[in-house]
Structure 1
Amino acid sequence: MSLRAEAPPMTRIPRFTRAERWVHRTTALLMGVCVLTAAFLYVPELAELVGRRELVVRVHEIAGVLLPLPVLGGLASRAFRADLGHLNRFGPHDRRWLRAALRRDRRPESRPAAKFNAGQKVYAAWIAGATLVMLGTGLMMWFTHLTPIMWRTSATFVHDWLALTIGVVLAGHIGMALADPEARHGMRTGSVSREWAEREHSLWRP
Structure 2
Amino acid sequence: MSPPADALTAPATRVRRFTPAERWVHRTTAALMGVCIATAACLYVPQLAQLVGRRALVVTLHEWSGLALPAPVLAGLASRAFRSDLRLLNRFGHHDGAWLRAVLRRDQRADARPAGKFNAGQKIYAAWLAGATLVMLGTGLLMWFTHLTPLVWRTSATFVHDWLALTMGVVIAGHIGMALADPEARRGLRTGAVSREWAEREHTLWRP
Give the TM-score normalised by structure 1: 0.94
- 1:196 corresponds in structure 2 to 198
- 1:18 corresponds in structure 2 to 20
- 1:166 corresponds in structure 2 to 168
Identity %: 78
SS at 2:91 equivalent: coil
- Name the structure where helix makes up a greater proportion of residues: 2
> 1 CA distance for matches of 2:113 and 2:100?
8
Amino acid at match of 2:73: V
Post-superposition offset of 1:130? 0.2
* Aligned pairs (5 A) from 1:1-206: 11-206=13-208
Post-superposition offset of 1:10? 7.1
In the alignment, structure 2 segments of 5+ residues that lack a partner are: 1-9
SS at 1:112 equivalent: coil
Superposed CA RMSD in Å reads 1.3
Post-superposition offset of 1:9? 10
> 2 CA distance for matches of 1:130 and 1:185?
27
> 1 CA distance for matches of 2:138 and 2:53?
28
C-alpha distance after superposition, 1:21-59 (max 9, x if no partner)? 000000000000000100111112211212211100000
Give the TM-score normalised by structure 2: 0.93
> 1 CA distance for matches of 2:160 and 2:86?
27
> 1 CA distance for matches of 2:30 and 2:75?
15
> 2 CA distance for matches of 1:150 and 1:120?
36
> 1 CA distance for matches of 2:161 and 2:83?
29
Post-superposition offset of 1:162? 0.1
SS at 2:114 equivalent: coil
SS at 2:52 equivalent: coil
Runs of 4+ residues over 3 Å off in structure 1: none
Counting matched residue pairs gives: 199
SS at 2:141 equivalent: helix
Post-superposition offset of 1:161? 0.1
SS at 1:48 equivalent: helix
C-alpha distance after superposition, 1:138-166 (max 9, x if no partner)? 00000001111000000000000000000
SS at 1:49 equivalent: helix
> 2 CA distance for matches of 1:84 and 1:124?
9
In the alignment, structure 1 segments of 5+ residues that lack a partner are: 1-7
